Amino acid sequence: MMTFVRLGLKMLRNHHNRLLFLFFLTLLVIPAVRSQTNTAISRDFDKEMVIYKTDNTDSTLRPTSLSKIPAWMNSRFPEQGDTLYVFGISDPGLNDTIARQQAIFRGMALGAMAKVTDCEHFSDFYSQAKGSGTDSKYEEIYRFSADFSGKSMTPVILNDTILSSSEAIVLLGIPAKSIHSSRKKNMRIEAVLYNNEADIMYGNKMSRKVDINILKRDSNEKIIIDGSYFYQMNGRATDMRCLFPQSQAVYDRYEFYYNDRASTHQTDSSGVSGTTCKQGLWIAYVSEILEYLSMQTKMLSNESQVLRDKTEDATVEILRERSRTRLLWKIGDIDIHDNKMRVNLTISTY
């Protein structure tokens, strides 16, 4: 402990290092929230559908928050080399110190994921052909995870800012060798993406659910240090929650808009249309990254099975796919235009 304090006193001499020291000190003293069983996202949508039916945001205009994006956020990242470049973004509405701590922490976790991501995926496509037509349902779940040691990582803060929405943005440069230099990896980032689409006689319904947590291992228990959850029905956000000590995010009270700065480069979006920023930059940022990773993971599906059943009235078919792979990725650039974020990732297999 004394060694940590002496190291901290040295770190305090520099502004950026002071932020890192405060972040690690916070991890030692803040009360942690014990996680419940952290399994794949439940398929029970009863609670979410109640929120969907009773939420009156369609008829009530929420106040807007307008922020100006710094020019360096829309710039191309330098050549990666032995350094990983990654953004960390906080929830809105936090005080400056907590927002920076959260942004740094999230950036470090995403850096660990960029170095190596364990990807798992399974999907079911169900179709039932009847005389009156065909009903179909598509369901898929992805899980992305990475283990790391926060103490061994040595990120450098290259740029940082606080927006008028009180969202902190930091650009970190993380030496790749420092991410897995420690054998004891006591931290884990885990993201679960769930998509469901049903095409029935009465119309098409789509739902999307994302749960992303950064956890700390404590004996045989996992402690959620930072958590984000959001749910969409037919492209409309219906529920957003965050979990961070001393956090009071304002996701449910505002719609977020960002300046329409034209980027100085052409972003190769590879057909990806971008993600709205109305729910804040962190949600758009994570959604874009997971969208790219899910597309690549699905392309590498290596297990499939077809089940068929035929009766007098209908023919039922289920196509199941599964895959497991490890991916490396890096951010080429980020473009925010028309209040949509586009993240360009370069992905390769491990």
Say if 62 falls within a structural domain: yes
Output the CA torsion sign for 111, 114, 120, 123: positive
Taking only the tens place, the pLDDT of each residue in 48-87 is: 444 434 444 443 456 788 899 998 888 777 766 788 999 9
Mean pLDDT computed over every residue of the chain: 77
CA distance 237 to 230: 7
For 232-287, write each residue's pLDDT tens digit: 776 666 666 666 655 555 566 678 999 865 444 444 444 457 899 988 999 999 99
Q: Is 3 inside any structural domain?
A: no
What is the per-residue pLDDT for 266? 47
CB 209 within 8 A of CB 41: yes
Q: What string of DSSP letters covers 70-97?
A: PGGGGSPPPP-TTEEEEEEEPPTT--HH
Instruction: Give the mean model confidence (pLDDT) for residues 136-156.
Output: 89
Would the pLDDT of 121 be above 70? yes
> How many structural domains is the chain composed of?
1
**Confidence at residue 251, expressed as pLDDT on a 0 to 100 scale:** 63
Question: Would 138 be classed as within a structural domain?
Answer: yes
User: What pLDDT score does 79 carry?
Assistant: 67
pLDDT computed for residue 108 by the predictor: 94
Say if residues 222 and 216 touch (Cβ distance below 8 Å). Answer: yes
How high is the pLDDT of residue 267? Answer: 46
Report the pLDDT value the prediction gives residue 3, as an integer from 0 to 100: 47
| Bridge partner residues of 145 (DSSP) | 118, 190
Lowest mean pLDDT segment, chosen from 60-64, 142-146, 223-227, 248-252: 248-252
Which residue segment(s) compose the domain that 139 sits in? 31-349
Report if residue 22 sits inside a domain. no
Question: Which tokens is 296 given?
Answer: 């690549």
The answer to whether residue 121 sits within a structural domain is yes
Is 9 domain-assigned? Answer: no
Q: Is residue 10 part of a domain?
A: no
Evaluate whether residue 15 is within a structural domain: no
Q: What is the pLDDT of residue 33?
A: 39
* 14-31 as b/e: b if 16+ CB within 10 A: eebbebbbbbbebbeeee
